[in-house]
């Protein structure tokens, strides 16, 4: 196992998930529930399932498209989203 890859993936996903709608939904469900462990286990299972789908889809796309093109497409998408957010905020 590559610990460097593990750490970079963990850090990226952890930071991306902080304060997003998933965390807020989990917060709300936990606040209105008597069983925090049930909410935790259900939320953790859902995140694992969606991550598994992402890994499987990424592997499939990675077999068809060279990694450099995926990186470039991701870069262009992030730049486009940033530009849209900058222009949209007046």
**End-to-end Cα spacing for the chain:** 46
pTM metric for this prediction: 0.68
Cβ–Cβ contacts within 10 Å for residue 13, how many? 13
The answer to whether residue 46 is domain-embedded is yes
Domains in the chain, number: 1
**pLDDT class of 89 with cuts at 50, 70, 90:** low
Q: Which range marks the domain in which residue 49 is found?
A: 3-65
Give CA–CA dist 36/2, Å, rounded: 33
- Round the average pLDDT of the chain to a whole number and report it: 92
The answer to whether residue 89 is domain-embedded is no
Please list, residue by residue across 35-69, b when 16 or more beta carbons sit within 10 angstroms of its beta carbon and e when fewer do. eeeebeeebeeeeeeeeeeeeeeeeeeeeeeeeee
Residue 14 pLDDT > 70:
yes
The answer to whether residue 75 is domain-embedded is no
Q: How many CA atoms lie within 13 A of 88 on its CB side?
A: 6
């Amino acid at each position: 196992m590559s610990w460097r890859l593990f750490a970079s993936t963990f850090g990226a996903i952890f930071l991306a998930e902080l304060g997003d709608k998933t965390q807020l939904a989990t917060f709300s469900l936990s606040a209105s529930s008597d069983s925090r462990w049930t909410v935790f286990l259900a939320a953790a299972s859902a995140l694992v399932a969606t991550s598994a789908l992402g890994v499987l889809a990424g592997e499939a796309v990675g077999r068809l498209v060279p990694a450099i093109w995926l990186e470039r497409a991701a870069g262009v998408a992030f730049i486009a989203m940033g530009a849209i957010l900058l222009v949209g905020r007046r």
